[in-house]
Amino acid sequence: MSQININTMENDIVIKNITSPSSVVLVCEHASHHIPASFDALGLSQNNRKSHAVWDIGALAVAEQLSKILGAALVASEVSRLVYDCNRPPTSSDAIPSRSEIIDVPGNRNLSQLQRDERAEEFYSPFKSELSNTIKQTKNPVLITIHSFTPTFHGKTRSVEIGILHDTDTRLANAMLAIAEKNTTADVRRNEPYGPEHGVTHTLKEHAIKEKYLNVMLEIRNDLISTLEQQEAMATLISRWVVDAFENLNEPGVVQCQA
């Protein structure tokens, strides 16, 4: 029986299955709705403090299930993306957004460069180094980032259910899309509802593409992962796509499936 160690650090968490040889490293940059008390809820109304603007609803739960099924490491941010968006470099204005869809974020307005730098230092730097270290400890790493999106955005309904996203390295995304096409009736699309043009592939570029590690970003519509049963079913479905895609690619590494 494999053992999962959970180390809770100040700003990020790593769940590493130390006895597993799995090549998969899971990442959940928008895992948390936590806003440290010193930020006074960033001035958000009570209603908005757990909305999709603040975090990716259901994403961490799916990532945790995937971690169990694949015996894979998981690195997740422990603060809201409105405090610092760990899928953005410090140079991006979106790293600390003053507005998210229809929600204003008063606590992020008119920040000085020093205040922005301090946020990056406190929340992004430890996340980045924890992820780098986890990847370094993994043989033939395969990076998979897990996100969720809201079914309605700026008043428009989204019919896409699962997005398989990539930047310049299309290998794993292509292989997963080919399998998904035959394997599910779900509405699965390439680079939707977001794509590299929206700046969402930062983690892939920073931690995988430079080193030519296999990588993919997954976006799941959050109404499909709102219950434990749905989260387990989604993780099972995705884990099969990952395992089959990896097998078809014939690359070195180990991607286990215990589902």
**C-beta of 252: minimal distance to Zn ion in Å?**
29
Residues 6 or more apart whose Cβ sits within 8 Å of residue 205:
167
Please identify the residue of the shown chain whose CB is closest to the bound Zn ion: 147
Q: How many CA atoms lie within 13 A of 82 on its CB side?
A: 30
**C-beta of 139: minimal distance to Zn ion in Å?**
27
Cβ nearer to Zn ion, comparing 56 with 244: 56
Residue 219: strand pairing partners: 147, 163
Spatial separation of the C-alpha atoms in residues 217 and 204, rounded to whole Å: 8
**C-beta of 41: minimal distance to Zn ion in Å?**
20
Residue 36 phi, psi dihedral angles, 5° rounding: -55, 145
Q: How many CA atoms lie within 13 A of 27 on its CB side?
A: 28
**C-beta of 108: minimal distance to Zn ion in Å?**
17
| 184 in Cβ contact with 167 (< 8 Å) | no
Binding site for Zn ion (CB under 5 A): 30, 56, 147
| 148 in Cβ contact with 56 (< 8 Å) | yes
**C-beta of 147: minimal distance to Zn ion in Å?**
3
Cβ nearer to Zn ion, comparing 68 with 147: 147
